[in-house]
Amino acid sequence: MARYPSSSGASFSIGPGGITPAVKILIITNVVFFVMNLIVGEAMTMRLGLEPRAVFEHFAFWQPFTYMFLHSITGVGHVLINMLSLWMFGTELERTWGTRFFTKYYFITGVGAAATSLLLSLFVDSIYYSVTVGASGAIYGLLLGYGMYFPNRPIYLYFIFPIPAKYFVMIVGAIAFFSALGGPGGVAHTAHLGGLIVGYLYLKGLRARPLDGLKYRWLRWKMGRARSKFNVHSGGRSSDDDWKSDWKKHIH
């Protein structure tokens, strides 16, 4: 429950308020995939879920992307909790970041969580032959982002105990870490942990800054090439005798 100011005083609203565009599309897409999976059955799960053996041996490179749109079809609890979390945390993050950055971050953490599972599967046979489904990796990434941008915002553990978001993230991170050490246990704890780690690294800029530097250098090179092509130079006019030396000096 959140409280918002109004002209007549304080008003209360359940959740983060109206749903944002990207969150709305993601929820609809997940629900559609869930219904389709109920109809098609396990064949769809095996084809689109994340199975490291299929990725490495049969080149199923689409699975690190498609797995996050599938959920367990043994009940509605899995998809319900993930979509509720997506709405609660994703809506406010999308308002803060903007739709473009939010969508990019969502898929980076989701695919990053899959990459974590793929990496660990090379050392753990139980992960190598298991099938992972669900948006939980991306959801944990959103939770990490929420804790970093709204560290003191209360999150109600079990809908009863208010805990600042930063401590809530620490708790779920510790649970994911120690659960991953204990083995799969039917839950993809490695994907949860991967979503947290990738989200943290991305938001801290450890992956974005080198790419930004390369992009900046590429743009400078492109601008320099364009200036050379059209004989553009800076520094004012020069005499005819000194034109060539000034051109070499001032061109970028």
Catalytic residue numbers read 136, 192
Look at residue 161 and give its three-state secondary structure.
strand
Cβ neighbors of 219 (< 8 A, separation 6 or more) are none
Residue owning tokens 């805990």 = 163
Q: Is 15 helix (H, G, I), strand (E, B) or coil?
A: coil
| 12 contacts 2 by C-beta, under 8 angstroms | yes
Q: Could you say which DSSP state residue 162 is in?
A: E
Do 118 and 61 form a contact (C-beta atoms < 8 A)?
no
Residue 88 tokens read as 């609660």
How many angstroms separate the first and last alpha carbons of the chain?
57
